Structure 1
Amino acid sequence: MMSLKISKPIVSVAWLQEHLDHKNLIILDCTIPKVTEKSNAVNSDEKLQIKGAIFFDIKNTFSDVNGKFPNTILSPKEFEYKAQELGINNNSLIVCYDDLGVYSSPRVWWMFQLMGFTNVAVLDGGLPKWIEHKYPIEKQQNNSRSKGNFKTNYQSGKIKFTNDILSAINNKTILIADARSKGRFNSTESEPRSDVKGGHIPNSVSLPFSEIIENGTFKSEEALKVIFNEINPKKKPFIFSCGTGITASVLALGAEISGSKNYAVYDGSWTEWGSTENLPIEI
């Protein structure tokens, strides 16, 4: 069986069902509880997963747990080691999904892109769409695999830090797009974290991630082209920001689907910007 290559950054549930038995396929359950929905967290004993999936723990394994801000990316070496521990190989075909349709899985897709691995896609519609089609599921279990030979090839251009943002603010050749709600962007609704100020990065534009999703799946490629062209008619390089780097990755994936390749994610996002002293804020 030849190694399967993914040509698009998202795959349908029908495509995944068709390739479910491919020996190089690794399905990653990338679910995290939404920061605003702690009370609705699913009980682990009731949690379901796609048959054969492996849990990819964004919060506790694939983020720097000692980092000052949530979801801080790991070093390439640590990422490589932990991906190998999950059984990921250089010739793996990775499909990421989450329980909410499209929420945290694009973050994992982006992490692999950052680490130089491109044979990875997001399952459009995630677990809800999979269940809707009555495709095979199982109770959450540890589908462990033998150690993989995954190697990173770090792509530093895909990630930005606070200093990059500071220089981008005055650089009219870059566009910062914020995936948070318009209310949080304009400081008319409060931040989920009490120590984070309201408002947005100066010269950034609001593009709530919910505007590129419809019924739990991405809008069409044509619709996404229109949305991204409207906010960025001059096709400047994008930097995507959000609360903690999760939904900025939804915008990154949307941009990729629309044909835009020139983008990066601000890893600390608004949690870092809004809680750091002496950074400029617009309301």
Structure 2
Amino acid sequence: MNQPLGSPIVSVKWLYSNLENPNLVVLDGTINKIFNTETQQIPKARFFDIKKKFSDITGEFPSTFPSEFQFQEEARNLGINNNSIIVVYDDKGIYSSARVWWLFKAFGYNKVSVLNGGFPEWTKQGLPKESMAQFIGEKGDFKANLQPGYMTFFNGMQKASKTKSHTIIDARSSVRFNCEVLEPREGLRSGTIPNSINLPFTDLLENGLLKDKADLKTIFASKITDETKAVIFSCGSGITACVLALGAEIAGYKNLVVYDGSWTEWGSLQPVR
């Protein structure tokens, strides 16, 4: 199979050539996708429902990090096993798929890769598709093992911002970061986490594909001036922060953290100064 298990990202060409491997699990991690049999997907894909299945739906903010038990049970319901080789994509290219990748890593599973370019690149290459279908198969034996340090939450973010213990990088667009436009979430104030810097996640992409390792190294080197500090990535609601985590890992950085609540939580709970 020649699966690059150490690689966080694989090409559509690689996925197509390995579709018949019995241990391969293809996940569609498109956010807010409505199940519809008229909707097309990559053959044998299983819908990874971030919002309803893999988030704590009782949480106050969107896409709240799930419990270890919830993640394990929902992954098993998708037929995921401890020997599964997972490739995840989304309909935008590289967007919410990175969140799925990061969730698996946070729960101790590393045999997971993001599909470079996602469904748009798959379509562009003229590769086969099928109608979206519910997964019907045996329950898996996936075992979640929550790892420390992958996620931070409000109290941790407050401390990091105040003490400057981490490099804090915001993945939102520059106009949102600089408060030049309103936040898309109704009622959420504009603003910026103190002591954070901006790197729009779109800066890591070119024609829908993640830039190569050399370019990613250059991009992150211009932002991370102290490599002794861990890095916290934030965004609007913890989704595109994971795109930055993906790029930074490929570029060779360690000690990467995602702020789960991101600006939606911070802007709601932290008073304006």
TM-score computed with the length of structure 1 as normaliser: 0.92
In 2: Cα distance, 1:106 partner to 1:45 partner? 25
Aligned twin of 2:23: 24
Runs of 4+ displaced beyond 6 Å: none
Report the Cα offset of residue 169 of structure 1: 1.3
Q: What is the root-mean-square deviation in Å for CA atoms of aligned residues?
A: 1.7
2:237 aligned partner, one-letter code: T
Determine whether 1:147 maps to 2:139: yes
Matched with 1:245 is 238
Deviations 1:25-54 (CA, angstroms, capped at 9, x unpaired): 000001124xxxxxxx88834311000100
Q: What letter is aligned with 1:214?
A: E
SS in structure 1 opposite 2:163?
coil
Unaligned runs of 5+ in 1: 34-40
Query: Which residue matches 1:15?
Result: 14
* 8 Å CA contact retained: 2:237, 2:262: yes
What CA deviation, in whole Å up to 9, does each residue of 1:112-160 have, x standing for no partner? Answer: 0000000000000001111111212101112322100000111121000
Verify: 1:259 aligned to 2:252, yes or no: yes
Q: Name the SS for the 2:268 alignment partner.
A: coil
Question: Quick one: percent identity of the two aligned structures?
Answer: 50
Correspondence for 1:170: 162
Corresponding residue of 1:6? 5
How many angstroms does 1:234 deviate by?
A: 1.6
Structure 2: distance between partners of 1:240 and 1:131: 30
Q: What's the secondary structure of 1:157's corresponding residue?
A: coil
8 Å contact kept, 2:175–2:181: yes
Residue 5 of structure 1 and its aligned partner are, at CA, apart by 5.7
Structure 2, unpaired ranges of 5+: none
Q: Which moved more, 1:189-198 or 1:245-254?
A: 189-198
| CA apart distance, 1:186 | 1.1
2:214 pairs with one of 222, 225, 241: 222
Return the letter of the residue paired with 2:23.
N
Q: Which amino acid aligns with 2:170?
A: D
CA distance in 1, matches of 2:192, 2:270: 14
CA contact 1:179–1:209 (8 Å) conserved in 2: yes
Q: Which residue type is aligned with residue 166 of structure 1? A: Q
Name the counterpart of 2:261: 268
How far the C-alpha of 1:68 sits from its partner, in A, is: 0.2
Hey, what's the Cα distance between the residues in 2 that align with 1:162 and 1:31?
Answer: 26
Instruction: Give a deviation string over 1:164-208, Cα, whole Å, max 9, x none.
Output: 111111333411100011111111100011221111000000011
Aligned partners of 1:135 and 1:109: how far apart in 2? 23
Amino acid at match of 1:261: K
Partners of 2:95 and 2:52 in 1: how far apart? 17
TM-score, length-normalised on structure 2?
Answer: 0.95
Instruction: Give the alignment partner of residue 182 of structure 2, picking from 190, 207, 223.
Output: 190
* Letter in structure 2 aligned against 1:138: E
SS at match of 2:180: coil
Residues 255/277 of structure 1: CA separation in 2 closer, same or farther (3 Å cut): closer
- Work out the number of aligned pairs and report it: 272
